[in-house]
A = this chain, B = another copy of it.
Amino acid sequence: MTTVYDVARAAGVSTATVSRVVRGSDLVRPATRERVLAVIEDVGFVPDASAQGLSRRRKDIIGLVAVERGHGPTDIERTSLLFVDQLVHAVEAVLRGSDCSLLLSFGRPGEAFQRRIRALSGKVDGLLVVEEALPAGQVEVLARRLPVVTIAGGAGEPGADAVRVDNARGMRALAAHLMDGHGCRRLAFAAGPADAPDAAERLAAFCAAVRDRAGVEAGSDVGAGPGAAGAGAGAAVDVVPGGDFSEASGRAAATVLLDRAARPDAVACANDQMAIGVMREFLRAGVRVPGDVAVTGFDDIFPGRIVEPPLTTVGQPSRDLGALAATRLLERIDGRAGPPRAELLPTELVVRRSCGCTDRGRP
């Protein structure tokens, strides 16, 4: 391994000068710089980041930790990667404008993953925590030692910045479209993982929106399906729990729904992959989408555009989410920052055909 000493000797200067040249300081005579640069090129010197980090108290690395979903190798292999991958690319794109690199780690929530994250925190200047990769309390602990920004996590851990999307707003728009636009009355919801804040918010917002809307109509029979949870008020949603954001779990939810005495006329899903699974299973069973039942997703991922029928969904700005989080983190690392902020990005209804609309509007 060649070091600054080797370069200094070969160039006939001190290590201090080499360091200056490497770091682009302008307190060095051009002639000297050229000479040093030539040697560096010649011997192929690359500064050791560990030594730099130790000396400068700055590693120029940020970490991103996220939940890995899906069960088997097959499932992980082909699905469920999209949201977090978009984040990764967005974050990396921001980092390209700095000297920072992105270190990442995926895992299932639990002791082991927490230990891993803890060790990882020693390698970075700041951390991006996606969803519930870390329980809320742990985030706070971490944030005491390190700048932390949560993405799609809880509403705001003390001490950490948070960037999220407005799940509720998107779901309200969706519920309105389904009920007012298409006259759907027997609503079902294929829920996502209980430990994903986004999933919980989407479910709650959808149910609330349906309830509110149903309340307006006198004697409504909305949600009177057999599996309806808390159907007492006459306005409820047939919630199918147990999903995990994967296409397979969407298919499973559809199977459950297929067995209901009263089939729903609309199924909203926690994300697009589950919606695709639901649609495919319905289609396979001979149930027409959207003819017999409307199906909708959340995220607006690429596959949703190319399935048949194209998926009506709620679009969330995944890339903006990642970019914003990365920018915030960089700010904090650089010291410029105020008190922790929680930011909410907008979502928008993306109407395609799986809800019953045609390419140019309502049916």
A interface list, Cβ under 8 A from B = 1, 44, 46-54, 59-61, 63, 68, 73, 76-79, 81-82, 85-86, 88-89, 92-93, 96, 99, 101-107, 116, 118-123, 141, 144-145, 247, 276, 280, 301-303, 305-308, 318-319
Choose one: B59, B96, B303, B308; the contact of A107 (CB below 8 Å): B96
Measured between alpha carbons, how far is A280 from B319 in the docked complex, in Å?
25
Chain multiplicity (copies): 2
Measured between alpha carbons, how far is A47 from B81 in the docked complex, in Å?
32
Q: Which residues of B contact A96 (CB under 8 A)?
A: 106-107, 116
Q: Are B123 and A49 neighbours in the complex by a CB distance under 8 Å?
A: yes
CB-nearest residue of chain B to A118: B46
CB-nearest residue of chain B to A120: B101
Q: Are B307 and A46 neighbours in the complex by a CB distance under 8 Å?
A: no
Give the shortest distance, in Å, between A246 (CB) and chain B (any CB).
11
Q: Can you list 13 A-B pairs with a CB-CB distance of less than 8 A?
A: A48-B122, A49-B59, A60-B123, A63-B101, A77-B86, A79-B302, A81-B86, A81-B89, A88-B88, A92-B104, A92-B105, A92-B106, A101-B103
Measured between alpha carbons, how far is A318 from B145 in the docked complex, in Å?
38
Q: Are B106 and A105 neighbours in the complex by a CB distance under 8 Å?
A: no
Give the shortest distance, in Å, between A227 (CB) and chain B (any CB).
27
Q: Which residues of B contact A92 (CB under 8 A)?
A: 104-106
Give the shortest distance, in Å, between A146 (CB) and chain B (any CB).
9
Q: Knowing A44-B144, A89-B81, A306-B307, say if A61 contacts B123 (CB, 8 Å).
A: yes
Q: Are B48 and A51 neighbours in the complex by a CB distance under 8 Å?
A: no
Measured between alpha carbons, how far is A266 from B301 in the docked complex, in Å?
29
Measured between alpha carbons, how far is A85 from B104 in the docked complex, in Å?
12
Q: Knowing A78-B301, A89-B106, A105-B92, say if A119 contacts B46 (CB, 8 Å).
A: yes
Q: Are B73 and A81 neighbours in the complex by a CB distance under 8 Å?
A: no
Q: Which residues of B contact A53 (CB under 8 A)?
A: 49-50, 53
Measured between alpha carbons, how far is A79 from B49 in the docked complex, in Å?
34
Given A46-B121, A48-B122, 4 additional A-B pairs, CB 8 A = A44-B144, A50-B51, A78-B302, A89-B106
